[in-house]
Chains A and B, each alone.
Chain A
Amino acid sequence: MHISLAAERLFTIAGIPITNTLLVSWGIILLLFVIALLISKNLSSEKPKGLQNFIELIFEKLLDFMGSVTGSRKDSIKYFPLIATIFIFVVLSNLVEIIPGLGTIGIMEGEHGHETLVPFLRSSSADLNFTLAIAISAVLSIQIFGIAALGFFKYWKKFFCPPWEKPYFIGTFIGILELIAEVAKVISFSFRLFGNIFAGEVLLTVVLVLVPYLAPLPFLFLEIFVGFIQAVVFSMLTLVFIKVATAHH
């Protein structure tokens, strides 16, 4: 049994290492692209069918849920693309870990006697590059929405308050704290998701090695639940931060 914090490198293209998590990310993007194309091709306003109904249901529920945070449908629609993309991408990346054979099919690498398994696929949320990328995108978007809502100078005054203006040094100090908080958001976002999903993968691997039959089943259910909750937490926290960043004080 080999457990690695970093995603395993499979091969390199033009100097860029291609990891198993990157492959899974591409797979998810491709899948979503196909679904999006299928839906937009057969879109019907009067008589929605099958998949469109399902997507509409999810979107409507997500919009309602967002409405409970934003308090207005207009705002919910405005932030919907970002929040929905985070939710869908993260939830699919999380749920990929329960696919059988994901962490067990691969190639053996290494020296004689020290061979380790390099799985072809690995849940992309169990890679800090992925979680960090989404966290950075989310926090950057929060700043952009904040600037769009309040104006550049008013928004940045939150972080850079000159000590000669009210409330003087306290304002400057709070500004520094706010700046640290923004960086902390990136760290907490990425490590929370990575920690949960990576731990889940490790847990599943360990249980699978110890008791291969039946025992992993409850853990698989637990991982489905955790994967969904983490996606909700990530997307809703982003929405709450956007709401705070765009609020007029």
Chain B
Amino acid sequence: MKFVGELERKEWSNLTYVEVEPNTWYENASRLLDSGYLYPQMLTAIDWPAEKKIQVLFVTHRFKDSHTVAMSTKIDRENRELPTLTDLYPGIEWQENEAYEMFGIDFVGHPDYKRWGRIRKILLSEDPRLFPKDRYPLLKDSGGYKNLPKVNWNEIEGTDREKEGLRDDLVYVYVGPQHPATHGPVGFLLGLRGEIVEDVIPRLGYVHRGVEWIFEQKEYSKIIPLLDRQCYVDGIGWEIPYVLAVEEIMNVKVDERANLLRILAAELSRIQSHILYIGSFLENINHLTGFAWTVRDREVFINLLEMLTGQRMTFNYLRIGGVARDLPQGFRDLTEKVIAKFDKHLDKLIDISLVNPTVAIRADGVAPVSAEDAIKYGWTGPNLRASGVAWDYRINKPYMGYDSVDFEGAIGNKGDILDRMLVRFEEIRQSLNIVRQVLKSLTTRGDLGKHYKRAPPFPRQSGIAYGIHESARGENGVLVVANPKDPRARMKPWRVHMRSPVFIHTMSLKYLGRGLLLQDFLANYISLDTCVAEMDR
């Protein structure tokens, strides 16, 4: 595809990187849309104080030929302004919000201007008593999250700044951050008419820890244990994209055996995450027996992961260039036993959940999302596939040796809650299949344990890479920027950005959650598979 004002073009391992002039930003985006790049994957920014520039990066997929483009532009650091892309790619709206609060980039024409008169902060507080108003923490000279004002919580009340944009004809109810259905400290301000949700204002950021800033203070290998903690259910899903990106910058080759072990860990993690997903949905519609059963079934897979990685939830298993440890003795036999037993449990689980009429009426035909909407709002993973889009990053763009295993993707057609559950059930089956295959091809003798030590601890030359992994919740993307020329970042990354699918799914409820009953809204929210730690980062 031809770009206007193209400055630079590079082929990365998984995408084409194009740098354009800032004044052609919007035009190039609309050209991308016209040539079939429908899917807004990621938008973020990188600060380059030495050049007095801020680089904005926009990643988009084309499903037809599985091609990905990263369009980038460098804007003036003093005058941070860009036209918004939300009218082309509605799913980019909240990522622009994030780029605004982290870098202070003013996206002209952002939808928030219409309702609030300003771009809203999502993760940081809008109250200057809690977070300084003009501080954009990811700018290198801003001071980050250090020296925040001391807050006397006894005196402060009412820190939310949403009141002025509310509609008069609705009753607003705070759902969360302390609410049994939100499964973590996240909130919604719901405008209700009767019990029908007419207006949704997601309220995030209660557990925002500023990890992207913390990553910049740590050496490359010390970031991996922190990544696990971003999603405590599917931790491997965050280690993989980071490691992939760093390996691309450093040009490190990974053994086939290490790749198989990574796939093994990723799929075991996916299985237990999906099982918990089914449980949390059943819990949300008050089917507590199903929830208890899923917790029991998940336990055996956590035990397997503990045996493989040494940890139950925060694995710290991957290393740059390999994995931390080899397959433990007896793992294969135990896994076969566990899978054989779980197969029976899975049938029972389907009996109690999908075959159960009281569950089926809560899921069937509820909150359907069309394929167009799912693509438009940037949905990924099982939720996208439930809407009938055949896009699985493991299949469409095999990475990390996924082409060596034989499996099928799951796909729905209506995009309702039932389809989302069915896709997850099918993916559990396929992942069990992958685990069996991987264990068959992993020979008992391997020389693992040395090769990752051959990889250098940090890159010597600057570079940018974007690792994408199809995790249990969607496409986890991690952007890693290395800039060892700067003394501050010799052994540390210059910038790490996490593209969280949960953040995008939850924010898209702003538009997709309207018109549902309160009960259905919450079931819909849970059916998108939530994880608040990852949402807030």
Q: Does A associate with B in a complex?
A: no
Residues of A bordering B, CB below 8 Å = none
Residues of B bordering A, CB below 8 Å = none
